[in-house]
Structure 1
Amino acid sequence: MPTLTVPRLKERPNILLIMSDQHNRSYMRCAGHPYVRTPNLDRLAASGTRFTNTYCANPLCGPSRMSFLTSRSSSDIHVWNNGAFLASDVATFVHHLAVADYQTVLCGRMHFDGPDKRHGYERRIIGEQMWRAPSIPVEQLIAHTADYLELSGWGQTPWMNYDEQVTLEAERFLRSSDARSDRPWLLTVGTALPHDPCICPKVLFDEYHPQSRVPPLPNGYLDTLHPATRLWRQRAGVDDVPDAIHQSARAGYCGLVTFVDEQIGRVLDALSETGLADRTIVIYTSDHGDMAGQQRFWWKTTFYDGSCGVPLIVSWPDRFRTGATESCVCSLMDVGPTLLELAGAECMQQVRGRSLTRFLTTDGDWEPGPDDPVEWPDTAFAEKVYRPGMREPARMIRRGRWKLNYYHGHDRPELFDMHDDPGERIDLGADPRCAEMREELIAAALADWSGQQVLNFFERWDADRAVRDRFARSTQAGDDDAPDPWAPTGHVEFHRGY
């Protein structure tokens, strides 16, 4: 285990982990966004370190979160989609903290499917929200096609109500006697937003709508796309979406980011007001991003940075660097090992993540342990199988300045130079000048991954799922031993913004 020589309190630190849903990491003022207001995330970044090249392990809600918790890939834990269950015998970093005598408390969203709604959390003080709302068709919520973008504008949704309730419960915990007990705690605050539909409060929609135009694509751009990417766009129908709907959706998304930032501000204020801030590490991240109109594309499930990249801010004033930015390539799978090291807990075994502590402390305050690489690998992997209406296994590797996306069944990958082309507009996958780098990254991507093995797994999984679905319909079986999901409450309204 690495040696941490940074000065510490006698008490082990509390951990406040805030995870939003579907936050594009460039949509923060501290990340350089020209008009989105995020004053609370900005002050968190000013008091800590903001990582600029962090990736999720799968750009889809459930799989990303399960990889985050276990520090293992989708292929390691067989969780590739939102219908899959994380096996209860797989240890998470939350289990490790609980064994180290931390209170482990979940407040809000974590996308646990199946009967196990804990996976190491001792308490869950508000249940999972359900993606249902009056007047919003469920089939549009699931489809992620062009019709879905029409569900954008202003109003009040159950998901906004949910996040406000999550915030209230988090404030209550921080002001409770449990937060000041002798046992340190991990409080995970999970918001449902800024996940689509892109419907935000009217005052925010009106603020952002004039600034939220989505520019047209360059002439001929679609003809240059990799066949897999072109097929995704065709199935989603995004290339036929009118400018007015793009603008409405982007304004709604910007408003949701600011709405979430306001909830985060309330939680940070409660932490400060209770005198717990100097004893508490604060982490902010998201399960994946959203294209949010970049390249006139939307949602998640792609390897573009807007979708697969995530924000990551870590703060512990007076102990970590402040106002710092760190450009190392890293993964959400690195967060768990980092927290365990800082908590003095037992390390996770046979996992893919590595502690990020070396990037948090001042120069000379960290020494590598026997299992830590002296040089950071500067590499992150992601994988996925989901596309609208089909399954196509794919794997991404980001190493240094290069990103390669390997699509099973295609004769060439995508390849981007992220230094010269951060917008990922120029695909170098067939460029002979990049042949050596392309082959090196393909070999790394396929060294421990097989698209065919993923498809073989889904043949079995689909058959099992069909039986489980019939069982549920015939017996009306439910998760009776799990906490009740959060029931939508409060005022709901929706007005189209175009």
Structure 2
Amino acid sequence: MPKNKKPNILHIFVDQMRHDTIAALGNPVIKTPNLDRLAQSGISFTNAYTPSPVCIAARCSMIYGQYPMHTGTYENRAMPQDGRETFMDGLKDNGYHTYGIGKCHFSPNSEALLGFEERERQEELTRLDLDKEPYLQLLKDKGYDYVCEPHGIRGEMYYVPQPSQLPESLHPTTWIRERTQAFLERKKDSDKPWYLFSSFIHPHPPFAPPNPWHKIYRGALMPLPNVPANVDSLQTYVNKCQNRYKYKDQGLDNNLLRTMKAYYYACISFIDYQVGLILDTLESTGQLDNTLIIFTSDHGEHLGDYNCFGKRSFHDTAARIPMLVSMPGKFEGGVTCDTPVSLIDLAPTFLNLGNANIKSHELDGEDLYDIFTGASKRDTVFGQLSYFNPRNSIVEDNDKVSPILRENEELWRASASTYMAVSKDWKYFYSAPDEQEYLFNKKTDPFETRNSAGLVFNKQNLLTMRHKTMDFLRNGNETAGVEGDQWKLFGKKIIPDDPDTGLLIQDTKMPWVKNEVKNYSEHNLDRMF
């Protein structure tokens, strides 16, 4: 290894992985020997949260080091277009080779670099020109251009567990690992430090592990979801929208639910296998001792808990994420840290490690090392999601939205927002579409089985967490949903009775879909959103 080289950064990222899916941290069913290896050598941040439980908003907050109220991205919508810097910009400007492999989900320009010097693109929603899609070009070259959806069949089968149509050697998860290993091999003798974003699409649905990985967990042996007796009182408007959106609000089958979990776990174990090969390459190339490794996810997945599916809510199943950090001499010891942390903390962590900075804006996060050592006095992290889209709402008829909201996007956003605050002891969130507060004691009710916001014994805890949330919003100028020391009321939102309203139609537009097939379809093969 070259002398006096700044530390490298290996940022392994996955999509939609729950916080409770690592064996070393207490899951007795799942097999994750290589994530266990990271947990046993480094620091496990066991109270890690997403700033917004949906793909684009979470990734946006992560790369800019800001909460949604400062990025302006609260959902799967456009990221800032004002030229602000990402932490990749800061690292690149301070001598780092910044390289991205896999899913970035940049919006509105999916090809943007946003501080990366180079990217090898793999996104589950694809484009037409193969010169911008190296993974798809590989599939075509290998004779797999009959596979319309290489990441799994979406649309009506989005939440139906399914074996991949591709062999293990060509699975999208394998490709990310191979390209990551190739980068590490190229950099082993380099004098220039590097930041590598190695980003897997799975275990995001569809849950489609390759053969024979789909057989390592058997549905009949899997535990059933967490469904408390008073489950209806724990579901929010956005949960109900997601259930409709994902074809999951018209009755449940326990055998299907257990098989779903088996395939989801198989996707995670398959990723774990790739992580092991990446760590082996890092070690064999002599770079392990000078590399910070972070493994984390953008958000979680309900996976049937609360009879819910998908993400987008602030229950722990969707909002709490795994976060493993390892580096000899800095993040080591195989210990856990239960101080709340967030994806917004990655930017200051990376920039401080690389002795770099950005000039375009202030960061909302704090260095994970300061949090771990107790140098940080912050005790609460926050989140926000706004489930609205002025252009095309999933279940809400925009023509029926009140003129006051239609003419004021800030109010409209607030009317569809959920706000979260989490400390070591308490989780609080408020759902404006339900006009409902939720409060959970993290010590006595870790599985969030009972909303205790209405208990007279918790009145002071409720007020404390509510005021923390409102003070946070006021300090960030996100005040459209706040009225004095109360939440502004906009009226409760209602899900349409028609069970076909708002179903997900999200087929992938592939460059090789045959015109003859298109002629048999009036709607779907050319449609993508």
- For this structure pair, what is the TM-score category when the shorter chain's length is used for normalisation? 0.7 to 0.9
| Residues 152 and 207 in structure 2, CA contact (< 8 A), matched pair in contact too | no
Residues 56-97 of structure 1 deviation map (CA, whole Å, 9 limit, x = unaligned): 110001110010001112221111222323325121111111
Deviates more, 1:297-306 or 1:407-416: 407-416
> What is the alpha-carbon distance in structure 1 between the residues aligned to residue 511 and residue 367 of structure 2?
38
Residue 394 of structure 1 pairs with residue 418 of structure 2: yes
| Residues 214 and 296 in structure 1, CA contact (< 8 A), matched pair in contact too | no
Aligned to 2:519: none
Residues 252-303 of structure 1 deviation map (CA, whole Å, 9 limit, x = unaligned): 1010000111111121111111111111111111111112233332221111
Give the TM-score normalised by the residue count of structure 1. 0.79
Aligned to 1:71: 65
> What is the alpha-carbon distance in structure 2 between the residues aligned to residue 486 and residue 311 of structure 1?
33
The partner residue of 1:413 within 437, 445, 455 is 437
Bigger relative contact order, structure 1 or 2 (CA pairs below 8 A, ≥6 apart): 1
> What is the alpha-carbon distance in structure 2 between the residues aligned to residue 336 and residue 235 of structure 1?
35
| Residues 24 and 292 in structure 1, CA contact (< 8 A), matched pair in contact too | no
Q: Stretches of 4+ moved more than 6 A in 1?
A: 135-140, 485-489
Residue 184 of structure 1 pairs with residue 184 of structure 2: no
Shift of 1:222: 2.9
Aligned to 1:51: 45
Residue 120 of structure 1 pairs with residue 115 of structure 2: yes
Residues 12-64 of structure 1 deviation map (CA, whole Å, 9 limit, x = unaligned): 10111111111111111111111111111111111110100000110001110
Residue 355 of structure 1 pairs with residue 356 of structure 2: no
The partner residue of 1:211 within 197, 205, 221 is 221
For structure 1, list consecutive stretches of 5 or more residues without a partner in the other structure.
1-8, 454-484, 490-498
Shift of 1:134: 4.6
What is the RMSD of the two structures over their aligned residues, measured on CA atoms? 3.1
> What is the alpha-carbon distance in structure 1 between the residues aligned to residue 341 and residue 114 of structure 2?
24
Equivalent residue letter for 2:114 = H
| Residues 337 and 347 in structure 1, CA contact (< 8 A), matched pair in contact too | no
Instruction: Please show how residues 236-251 of structure 1 align to structure 2 within 5 Å.
Output: 237-238=248-249, 240-251=251-262
Equivalent residue letter for 1:443 = H
Instruction: Specify whether residues 208 and 66 from structure 1 end up closer, same or farther in structure 2 by C-alpha distance, changes over 3 A only.
Output: same
SS class of match (1:154): coil
Q: Percent identity?
A: 27
Aligned to 2:428: 404
Aligned to 2:182: 172
Instruction: Please show how residues 407-486 of structure 1 align to structure 2 within 5 Å.
Output: 407-447=431-471, 448=473, 449-450=478-479, 452=481
| Residues 57 and 77 in structure 2, CA contact (< 8 A), matched pair in contact too | no
Equivalent residue letter for 2:395 = G
| Residues 340 and 346 in structure 1, CA contact (< 8 A), matched pair in contact too | yes
| Residues 321 and 360 in structure 1, CA contact (< 8 A), matched pair in contact too | no
Residue 308 of structure 1 pairs with residue 311 of structure 2: no
> What is the alpha-carbon distance in structure 2 between the residues aligned to residue 200 and residue 79 of structure 1?
31
Aligned residues: 434
Equivalent residue letter for 1:293 = G
Equivalent residue letter for 2:261 = R
| Residues 213 and 246 in structure 1, CA contact (< 8 A), matched pair in contact too | no
| Residues 150 and 166 in structure 2, CA contact (< 8 A), matched pair in contact too | no
Residues 231-270 of structure 1 deviation map (CA, whole Å, 9 limit, x = unaligned): 4476454471111211121111010000111111121111
Shift of 1:157: 5.2
The partner residue of 1:323 within 295, 320, 334 is 334
Equivalent residue letter for 2:154 = L
| Residues 292 and 298 in structure 1, CA contact (< 8 A), matched pair in contact too | yes
> What is the alpha-carbon distance in structure 2 between the residues aligned to residue 39 and residue 359 of structure 1?
27
| Residues 152 and 206 in structure 2, CA contact (< 8 A), matched pair in contact too | no
Instruction: Specify whether residues 136 and 130 from structure 1 end up closer, same or farther in structure 2 by C-alpha distance, changes over 3 A only.
Output: closer
| Residues 55 and 332 in structure 1, CA contact (< 8 A), matched pair in contact too | yes
Residue 18 of structure 1 pairs with residue 19 of structure 2: no
